[in-house]
Every structure is written in structure tokens, then in C-alpha cells.
Amino acid sequence: MITLNSQDSIHKAWLYRVLIGIVDNQSLKDLYFKGGTCAAMAGFLDRFSVDLDFDYVGELENLPTVRNELKKIFTELGLEIKDESSKVPQFFLKYPTDKASIRNTLKIDITFPAPSANVYEPIQLNDIGRVLVCQNSSTMFANKLVAVVDRFERNNSIAGRDIYDIHHFFLNGYKYNSEVITERTGLTVIDYFKKLRAFIDSHITETLLSQDLNVLIPYERFNRYRKILKSETLMFLDDEIKRLSSSK
């Protein structure tokens, strides 16, 4: 169970309002749920997540309709659009609050085109009483493995939560979709894992992990994990590289 403080509970309420609005709109049926919030709601992940992420699996010519329908939902909910991308539907939204010092921004991020190797399935999300088409767990794990390096190469940024999520998926015995890794990176799985291992070893620090994770997981768990997260993730990758090498 994910225990939240009052500020995070308010943020979650707004996430759920937007998510319900999207799910109940038939014009947005080609948005398939993914990402940290999806993984947490589906029971695959045990941390708080602050954004909503989707794959768009419809036709390119229908994207303007998707954008307009999303804007209608935001307006109906009283959300302010702080910023949006002109290329794909990506929005930074602001919800009302009386305190300027607390979080009041959420991001809606939509990927198009999605990797063709992604696999989806209907999942009952009890928190909102809806069944959503979501990435399955192996697809989520594979995309998270790729996200570490991809985020850096695209945006020169690193997210400590990516390392936490990879560690969690490995620790809990989840499988990854190898085809997603190969499609997104152009590498064999073993070659990508070697690249990922080298990246984590050289770029991930305890300070970086702390900056990102201390607001997403309870303090006791954060304090327990921050010193072992990097080393154990490298261990999991080393073991997987050995396993893949021996199976050739």
C-alpha cells in the first residue's frame, strides 16, 4: 500500500479526476494508459507518481480531435493549461490551491507513435472503478529499462525514479518484453543491458536518487533504499547479462 501525505492525496485526487474524464470520453478510446501512475494503480509499483502517461494508438489525422477533447475535459474540471506541446498532445496543467508553496501542477504526456512491440491488456483499476486498456507489466518494465538512457540522450536529464522502478521490477520477478527493448534501442537486449549498466555506473549518484525519490516514497523506505539502490540494480543487470550470455 502507498501511504500519502495530505498534499499528495490532493494531487492524486486531481489525477483521478482527469483520468476518469479521459476514460469516460469515447473520443479518447485510443489512449492506452501507461507509466508510473498506471503501474501504481495496477499494483505493479509501490511508489507515488505525479503524472498521467498514455500511448496513442489511433490514426494521425485524429490527433487534433484528441487534443480538443482533452482541452474540454480540462476546462470542465477547472484546470488551467500552463503550457502545451505543438507536436503531440502534452499538457502541463495547474489546479487551484490556496497555498503557493505546494505542488499544484500535473503533466499529461502522450506518446505517438507507440512502439509496435508494446502489448496491452484491460486492467481493473479499483481506485477509480474503471477497466482501462493499459500496457501490460512486461511492456512497462521494458519501456522503463529503455527510459533511463533515452531520457538522457533526448533531454540530457536523469530521473532517479527510473532506477527505483527497474530495481522494483527486478526484485519482484517481473519479466520484460525483449522486443520493446530491441525496437526502441536498435540493439540486442544483452548489448543494451551492457550500455545501461555502464550508464548507471557512471551517471547515477546517491544525491541524484535522493533528490527525486524523497518525495515519491515514504521516508523510512527512502532511507533504507538510497544506499543500496544503485548497487543492487547493477547486480540485477549483471546477473541478467550473464544469463543472456549463457543462453546463446
Give tens-digit pLDDT for 98-143. Answer: 766 577 899 999 999 999 999 999 999 999 999 999 999 999 999 9
Q: Environment class of residue 151 by beta-carbon count within 10 Å: exposed (0-12), middle (13-18) or buried (19+)?
A: middle
Classify residue 173 as left (phi > 0), alpha (psi -120 to 50) or beta.
left
User: Domains of the chain, with CATH numbers?
Assistant: 1-135 (3.10.450.620), 136-248 (no CATH)
| pLDDT of the residue at 4 | 56
pTM attached to this predicted model: 0.92
Question: Considering the chain, what percentage of its residues have pLDDT values greater than 90?
Answer: 79
3-state secondary structure the chain: CCCCCHHHHHHHHHHHHHHHHHHCCHHHCCEEEEHHHHHHHCCCCCCCCCCEEEEECCCHHHHHHHHHHHHHHHHHHCCEEEEECCCCCEEEEECCCCCCCCCCEEEEEEECCCCCCCCEEEEEECCCCEEEEEECHHHHHHHHHHHHHHHHHHHCCCCHHHHHHHHHHHHCCCCCCHHHHHHHHCCCHHHHHHHHHHHHHHHCCHHHHHHHHCCCCCHHHHHHHCCCHHHHHHHHHHHHHHHHHHCC
pLDDT in tens, 69-107: 999 999 999 999 999 998 888 999 999 887 665 778 999
CB-based contact 151:158 (threshold 8 Å): yes
How many whole angstroms from its chain centre is CA 225?
20
Residue 100 neighbours by CB under 8 Å, 6+ apart: none
Report in angstroms the alpha-carbon separations of 105 from 2, 11, 24. Answer: 21, 8, 23
| Backbone phi and psi for residue 21, each to the nearest 5 degrees, phi listed first | -60, -40
pLDDT in tens, 147-202: 999 999 998 999 999 999 999 999 999 999 999 999 999 999 999 999 999 999 99
Closest of 73, 44, 69, 42 to residue 58, by C-alpha: 69
C-alpha cell recorded at residue 17? 479526476
The rounded distance, in Å, linking the Cα atoms of 62 and 50 is 27
Closest of 172, 178, 175 to residue 191, by C-alpha: 178
pLDDT at 1 over 50: no
- Pairing relation of β-strands 52-56 and 105-111? parallel
The rounded distance, in Å, linking the Cα atoms of 13 and 34 is 18
